[in-house]
Structure 1
Amino acid sequence: MKKQLLVTAIAMSISLCGFSQTKGTNAVSFGVNSTTNKVTGSGYEDKVKNNSFTLGYGYFFKDNNKIGLDLTYGLNKNTYNNNKSNQELKSYGGNLSYQRYFPLVKTLFAYAGGKAAYTHSKNNSLYTNTYPQSTSYTSNQYAVGAYGGITWFVSKRFALETNLLSADITYSKTEQNEVTANSYFIKNEYTSFNLSSQGFINNLGFKIYILF
């Protein structure tokens, strides 16, 4: 009897260390972030609304190795009555990623991987003060990078993941269009190239996975 219990305990501990990272497992992730900030004073009211949504799918093509696709959408609206201006920023994009998991303790894993991403954004600003004018920015950004972090496979169906380290190379092209009160039109185009890295605990964020 004791021998059977020992074998069962060993089998359970092995399964705890291995579930959800095995070949053929699917992982669906999602995220919603919504904030509103309102400042009211004598004769004015400023309001800032930020909303972002993410949806992702991953597939373990072999044990502890996952490929994934993430889609993102963001909408930010700012209204400033004190200087009579409105701003709206829309962005959407996606990224392809690869992650490899390394067991640490039971269901806690470290991971490292890489990704390629694309983001399109458009920012419109309208000023209706003494000299009305409108300005719009359209940007396309491309990025490749490496990153790593920690994943906790809470149960067979759920996991919680955070990103701790990252390094990215980005290229972006932005077009600016401005129309003034006298219909004077200005158009600017500029590009940028950037290499950046973020250290331990910087830009801490979490992702929730549903596994099946």
Structure 2
Amino acid sequence: MKKQLLVTAMAVGISLCGFAQTKGTNALSFGVNSTTNKLSGNNYENKVKNNSFTLGYGYFFKDNNKIGLDLTYGLNKNTYGNDNINNQEQKSYGGNLSYQHYFPLVKTLFAYAGGKASYTHSKNNSEFTNTYPQVTNYTSNQYAVGAYGGITWFVSKRFALETSLLSADIAYSKTEQNEVSANNAFTKSEYTSFNLSSQGFINNLGFKIYILF
């Protein structure tokens, strides 16, 4: 009887460990990051608010192989100066397609490696109403492809926690700037950039939570 119970427990344990990585599993992920920094003085206040939200869906099309889609939204506000008369606001929207292959390490702990392609559109509005009033608007589009890897812990049958530890990206961006001064003078400029970047171990550490079903 004890032997049968032990075999049954082992079978259940193995099934729970393997469930999250098996073909046909769905993975819903979400993330929220909100920070506020405030600096005050005599008739002076500087307040910075940063908010970002992510929502993603992944599908294991075969064992230990997942494709995914992530959508992102960010809002950053910076208010500063006497009586808060100067303001900056940036909104960003984007998404990425990804592929990840998982490698078992110890029990429910897995390493992964994969690649992704992403797009981000952002708008930045700056308004200065002090000595030299002016309004400046930036519009930017960025395209990137890259490779990345990290660690995933399948905490239970329904939940997983994942972090990215290594990444390398190639990015291209195009930005348009429009500026209107106090005398209604208007200027417009465009510039582009191309860069290759990489991040080492534990740089830019971030976590993602998965709901598995």
TM-score range, shorter chain: over 0.9
Q: Deviations over 1:24-66 (max 9, x none)?
A: 1100000111111111110111111111100000000111110
Partner of 1:55 in structure 2? 55
Is the Cα–Cα contact under 8 Å of residues 19 and 25 in structure 2 kept in the other structure? no
Shift in Å, 1:196:
0.4
**Counterpart amino acid of 2:162?**
E
Aligned counterparts of 1:10 and 1:55: Cα–Cα separation in 2:
35
Q: How does 1:88-103 map to 2 (within 5 A)?
A: 88-103=89-104
Partner of 1:15 in structure 2? 15
Is the Cα–Cα contact under 8 Å of residues 136 and 179 in structure 2 kept in the other structure? yes
Partner of 2:114 in structure 1? 113
Is the Cα–Cα contact under 8 Å of residues 144 and 170 in structure 2 kept in the other structure? yes
Aligned counterparts of 1:119 and 1:109: Cα–Cα separation in 2:
29
Aligned counterparts of 1:50 and 1:7: Cα–Cα separation in 2:
52
Shift in Å, 1:206:
0.1
Q: Deviations over 1:98-141 (max 9, x none)?
A: 00101000000000000000000010000001110011110000
SS in 1 for 2:203: coil
Partner of 2:81 in structure 1? 81
Is the Cα–Cα contact under 8 Å of residues 17 and 157 in structure 2 kept in the other structure? no
Partner of 2:32 in structure 1? 32
Partner of 1:127 in structure 2? 128
Shift in Å, 1:14:
2.1
Partner of 1:188 in structure 2? 189
Partner of 2:204 in structure 1? 203
Is the Cα–Cα contact under 8 Å of residues 17 and 103 in structure 1 kept in the other structure? no
Structure 1 unaligned runs (5+)? none
Aligned counterparts of 2:96 and 2:33: Cα–Cα separation in 1:
19
Is the Cα–Cα contact under 8 Å of residues 35 and 49 in structure 1 kept in the other structure? yes
SS in 1 for 2:187: strand
Count of aligned pairs between the two proteins: 212
Structure 2 unaligned runs (5+)? none
Q: Deviations over 1:139-189 (max 9, x none)?
A: 000000000000000000000000000000000000011111111111110
Aligned sequence identity (%): 87
Q: Deviations over 1:179-212 (max 9, x none)?
A: 1111111111011000000000000000000000
SS in 2 for 1:7: helix
TM-score normalized by structure 1? 0.97
Aligned counterparts of 2:7 and 2:190: Cα–Cα separation in 1:
68
Aligned counterparts of 1:196 and 1:131: Cα–Cα separation in 2:
37
Is the Cα–Cα contact under 8 Å of residues 17 and 154 in structure 2 kept in the other structure? no
Shift in Å, 1:2:
4.0
Aligned counterparts of 2:20 and 2:169: Cα–Cα separation in 1:
28
**Counterpart amino acid of 1:15?**
S
Partner of 1:167 in structure 2? 168
Aligned-residue CA RMSD (Å): 1.2
